[in-house]
Amino acid sequence: MIAWTIYLTFAGAVVLLVFPGVVARWIALLTAIAGLVLDIVALVCTPVADLAHFMSIVSVPWVPPLGMNYHLAVDGVSLTMVLVTGISAVSTVLFSWDVDHRQREFFFWLLLVVGGCYGVFLSADLFLFFAFYELVIVPKYFLIAIFGSTNKEYGAMKLTLYSFFGGMFVFSGILVAYATAGSLDLNQLVQFHFSPQLQSWNSVLMQACA
């Protein structure tokens, strides 16, 4: 069920492009509330004992030869972060209620950011995690470049370049983990015994964009 937070949010972003801009804020608000409701329902319905480990939600082969899967899972930490994302989404839409400049575009990019964040926190495949994280960079750029204030173009480009080059280091760390453990699945990587030396320097790569 909680996987639908991703699908509903992206669907809401697409719907925004179809309807007139005057109702954009309402579509964005309803989409954000729907995601938050799903988060709360998942939190209430999930036994606390089950949150101690990853519980697979969706697992579909993506690129089987490379071991990439569209694998979503949830545990106590990710569920908390998803709930925080839902609260932040509703709060951000309400805080931005008075935006009137290119309103439809603003809420479109905003919902893409929210959907990408849901994907990041629910990903149980390292490459899928990386894909969702990089996806968020694009709408962030337009939100800052179009709707920012002082030096907005410079700030947007600076953040984009920082995220891009940081992502290169993260991707390198993912490749090292895959070459060593032979898997991108977080459940399998958790059980794999990496050498202390590899953990120490590869963790620096994986946290390059943090």
Q: DSSP string of 185-202? A: BHHHHHHS---HHHHHHH
Phi-psi region of 67 (alpha: psi -120 to 50; beta: other; left: phi over 0): left
Residue 74: in which H helix or E strand, if any? strand 68-74
* Tokens standing for residue 167: 């992502």
Amino acid letter, residue 24: A
Q: What is residue 167's three-state secondary structure?
A: helix
With respect to residue 57, please indicate whether it lies within any of the assigned structural domains.
Answer: yes
- For 67-111, how does the pLDDT look when each residue is reduced to its tens digit (9 = 90+)? 788 999 998 889 999 999 999 999 999 999 988 888 899 999 999
Instruction: Output the pLDDT for position 154.
Output: 80
With respect to residue 192, please indicate whether it lies within any of the assigned structural domains.
Answer: no
With respect to residue 179, please indicate whether it lies within any of the assigned structural domains.
Answer: no
With respect to residue 178, please indicate whether it lies within any of the assigned structural domains.
Answer: no
With respect to residue 71, please indicate whether it lies within any of the assigned structural domains.
Answer: yes
With respect to residue 207, please indicate whether it lies within any of the assigned structural domains.
Answer: no
**Cβ(90)–Cβ(9) below 8 Å:** no
> Which residue range is the domain that position 51 belongs to?
4-150
Listed as own residue / partner, the contacts of 144-148 with beta carbons closer than 8 Å and 24 or more positions apart are: 146/102, 146/105, 146/106, 147/99, 147/101, 147/102, 147/106
Local confidence band at 118 (pLDDT 50, 70, 90 cut-offs): very high
With respect to residue 172, please indicate whether it lies within any of the assigned structural domains.
Answer: no
What angle (nearest 5°) sits at the alpha carbon of residue 149, between those of residues 145 and 154?
Answer: 45
**Cβ(114)–Cβ(85) below 8 Å:** yes
Count: domains in the chain? 1
The better pLDDT of the pair 50, 75 is held by 75
With respect to residue 65, please indicate whether it lies within any of the assigned structural domains.
Answer: yes
